[in-house]
Amino acid sequence: MCLAIPGKVLTSENRGGVRVGRVQFGGITRETCLDFVPEAQVGDYVIVHVGFAISRVDAEEAKKSFELLESMGLLQEELGPETEIS
């Protein structure tokens, strides 16, 4: 199953014409393409699907979504069993 997971943008840079950033999901950080959300800035929350940020959300909505996914056990499934979620 592929989910869209909320995360916080920690960095943003342009690499070869593609805007990428480090996005934090609980206790882990992953590289994410930010081209689909040009308005997203460092500190914003975005919804990420298969490595692409697809929309911006406010912090409260991101927190609610993350907690719901976590309570359903879907984050471990999506992010991998070795991932520590905090």
How many structural domains compose the chain?
Answer: 1
At 40, which CATH number? Answer: 2.30.30.140
Taking only the tens place, the pLDDT of each residue in 6-65 is: 999 999 999 999 999 999 987 889 999 999 999 999 999 999 999 999 999 999 999 898
- Whether residue 84 lies inside any domain: the answer is no
- Whether residue 14 lies inside any domain: the answer is yes
Residue 53, domain extent? 4-79
Higher pLDDT, 8 or 77: 8
CA distances from 60 to 6, 10, 32, 71 (A): 11, 17, 21, 17
> For residue 82, what pLDDT is reported?
52
> For residue 86, what pLDDT is reported?
46
Give the up-direction half-sphere exposure of residue 72: CA atoms within 13 A in the CB hemisphere.
Answer: 11
Tracing tokens 């692409």 back to the chain, one arrives at 52
- Whether residue 85 lies inside any domain: the answer is no
Res. 78 pLDDT band, cuts 50 70 90? low
Q: Give the E-state strand segments of 1-86 in sequence order.
A: 4-9, 13-15, 18-25, 28-33, 45-49, 52-57
